[in-house]
A = this chain, B = another copy of it.
Amino acid sequence: AGPPGFVALDTATVLDYCAGKASIADALGGASTRKEWSAKEVGDGNINFVYIVTGSGGNAVIVKQGLPYVRCVGEAWPLTQERVRYEAEALQTAHGYCPAHVPVVYEYDAPMSVIAMRYLEPPHIILRGGIISGTIYANLASHVGEYLATTLFGSSALKVGCEAQRRARAAFGQNEAMCALTEQVIFTEPYAKAENNHWTSPQLDDAAKALRSDNELKVAICALKNKFASDAAALLHGDLHTGSIMCTMDTTFVIDHEFAFYGPMGFDVGAFVANLLLAYFAQDGYDGDRAKQREWLLSCVKETWGVFASRFRELWNEEGISSDTSGLAPGSLFSAAAGAEGDVDAALRAHQDKFIDDVWKDTLGFAGAKMTRRIVGIAHVADLDSIGDADARARCETNALRCARRMILEAGSLSVDDVCAMAKELRGGA
């Protein structure tokens, strides 16, 4: 299977493959050092194969290959390799907007469905693991806030104009196969009887059943699905959970853009917020005193949003006032220098306030949807799954589900402070 020219790599053949690609071979110390190279497969993801290829002098490169099916299921769940093109383009685009927080791509090989990119060397680890082990990442919120602001603003019609954005959307494509997965596992199955669903049973049986007959929630989740399906505001990561972020105490990188598509900004912001809150609710299932990390997780929610909002506004002020009629904030309406009349500063502020507030409302709804699906849907998170005691885990999950429901239903009225206060209260106030 696979397209013409496709061959599935392994730890042996990947070395020859790298030697044959100048951009990769150079990063490994040159093809002439080929004999010193070695590879190991480290894909802990569910979908693809990821090789660390180590060259001479300790240089290393990541070679990620997508197969024509879902790795953890096998050929029984085919998946189009088009996703690798989406991932490569989104990675490269995001790196352009935010080089500090996105690995550089050395090579994208379409027929082989391969992306070669910078190896994020130790001590980089997957953020989810770091959080589970109790680490506090003091720079995380500002880095992720910066990533979100630069990528979402950069690909928006605010920055590029409506007409150019339509062209960019047409050129990028729809990534409909990966979006269909999201539509299935996030916006549908958790609220239905579905073979894929599972949960801590019997403790959560009633909660899961309640989801399936919660009319208010069903309506709200369908509205979110509709927004996901039809709002093409910015080029999203599409799967920005804490397993798609690698970090050290000082650095933060976003990887794994294979779900990228033009969608609603709040979907990316919400994914990150959801995973912080899941980590927060999981804490009661762990041994030891994690009060400090718990506080940090909530402050990280607040700070991520704060950094995102202020950086987004800053970019807008600097690069979002268009000189033509194609922008979402044309100078002819908002810049006195361009002839706009009235109190243009107040007008611009009000425009920005409303725009950013709408992103926040979407953020809340999408975050709630993501939290819910991680507890009753197909794919859970290690934060909760690593809690061995089922009763303890169920208590954490119940709190998270309650928080999620209110985030979805009260998205129109909750501030970020409200959400953090509510999360605290739901887990008992401590």
Please state the number of chain copies in the assembly: 2
Most buried by B among A188, A222, A341: A222
Q: Contacting A351 at CB < 8 Å: which of B222, B233, B350? A: B222
Q: Give a binary string over A261-277; 1 marks a CB under 8 Å from any B CB, 0 the rest.
A: 00000000000000000
CA distance A199 to B167 in the complex (A): 34
Tell me the residues in window 341-355 of chain A with beta carbons closer than 8 Å to chain B beta carbons.
Answer: 341-343, 346-347, 350-351, 354-355
Q: Do the beta carbons of A163 and B188 come within 8 Å of each other? A: no
Closest chain B CB from A374 CB (angstroms): 17
Residues of B with C-beta under 8 A to A230: 157, 231-233
Closest chain B CB from A89 CB (angstroms): 15
Residues of B with C-beta under 8 A to A351: 218-219, 222
Listed stretches A58-66, A169-177, A242-250; interface member: A169-177
Knowing A341-B209, A341-B213, say if A326 contacts B180 (CB, 8 Å). yes
Q: Give a binary string over A194-223; 1 marks a CB under 8 Å from any B CB, 0 the rest.
A: 100000000000000100111110110011
Q: Do the beta carbons of B332 and A215 come within 8 Å of each other? A: no
Residues of B with C-beta under 8 A to A233: 226, 230
Q: Do the beta carbons of B346 and A215 come within 8 Å of each other? A: yes
CA distance A367 to B353 in the complex (A): 24
Interface of A is mostly: helix
Whether, in the assembled complex, A189 has its beta carbon less than 8 Å from a beta carbon of chain B, the answer is yes
Whether, in the assembled complex, A340 has its beta carbon less than 8 Å from a beta carbon of chain B, the answer is yes
Q: Do the beta carbons of A163 and B192 come within 8 Å of each other? A: no
CA distance A165 to B261 in the complex (A): 14
Q: Do the beta carbons of A347 and B215 come within 8 Å of each other? A: yes
Q: Do the beta carbons of B166 and A179 come within 8 Å of each other? A: yes
Residues of B with C-beta under 8 A to A223: 354-355, 358
Q: Contacting A325 at CB < 8 Å: which of B188, B228, B326, B339? A: B188
Closest chain B CB from A395 CB (angstroms): 25
Whether, in the assembled complex, A27 has its beta carbon less than 8 Å from a beta carbon of chain B, the answer is no
Measured CB to CB, the nearest residue on chain B to A222 is: B351
- Size of the A side of the interface (Cβ < 8 Å), in residues, is 61
Whether, in the assembled complex, A162 has its beta carbon less than 8 Å from a beta carbon of chain B, the answer is yes
Residues of B with C-beta under 8 A to A326: 180, 183-184
Residues of B with C-beta under 8 A to A193: 332, 339, 341
CA distance A230 to B328 in the complex (A): 11
Q: Give a binary string over A251-264; 1 marks a CB under 8 Å from any B CB, 0 the rest.
A: 00000000000000
Measured CB to CB, the nearest residue on chain B to A212 is: B341
Q: Do the beta carbons of A333 and B188 come within 8 Å of each other? A: yes
Whether, in the assembled complex, A334 has its beta carbon less than 8 Å from a beta carbon of chain B, the answer is yes
Measured CB to CB, the nearest residue on chain B to A196 is: B325
CA distance A429 to B192 in the complex (A): 52
Q: Do the beta carbons of A188 and B350 come within 8 Å of each other? A: no
Residues of B with C-beta under 8 A to A174: 166-167, 169-170
Q: Do the beta carbons of B192 and A340 come within 8 Å of each other? A: yes
Whether, in the assembled complex, A280 has its beta carbon less than 8 Å from a beta carbon of chain B, the answer is no
Residues of B with C-beta under 8 A to A184: 325-326
Residues of B with C-beta under 8 A to A229: 157, 162, 165-166, 328
Q: Which residue numbers of A lie inside 8 Å of B, CB to CB? A: 157, 162-163, 165-167, 169-170, 173-177, 179-180, 183-184, 188-189, 191-194, 209, 212-216, 218-219, 222-223, 225-226, 228-233, 325-326, 328-330, 332-334, 339-343, 346-347, 350-351, 354-355, 358
Would you give 26 A-B contacts (Cβ < 8 Å), ordered by A?
A157-B230, A162-B176, A162-B228, A162-B229, A163-B176, A170-B170, A170-B176, A183-B325, A188-B325, A189-B325, A192-B340, A209-B341, A214-B342, A215-B342, A215-B343, A215-B350, A216-B350, A218-B333, A218-B334, A218-B342, A219-B351, A223-B358, A225-B328, A230-B231, A230-B232, A230-B233
Can you list the 6 inter-chain pairs with the closest CB atoms, starting with the nearest?
A213-B342, A192-B332, A166-B176, A166-B174, A184-B325, A188-B325
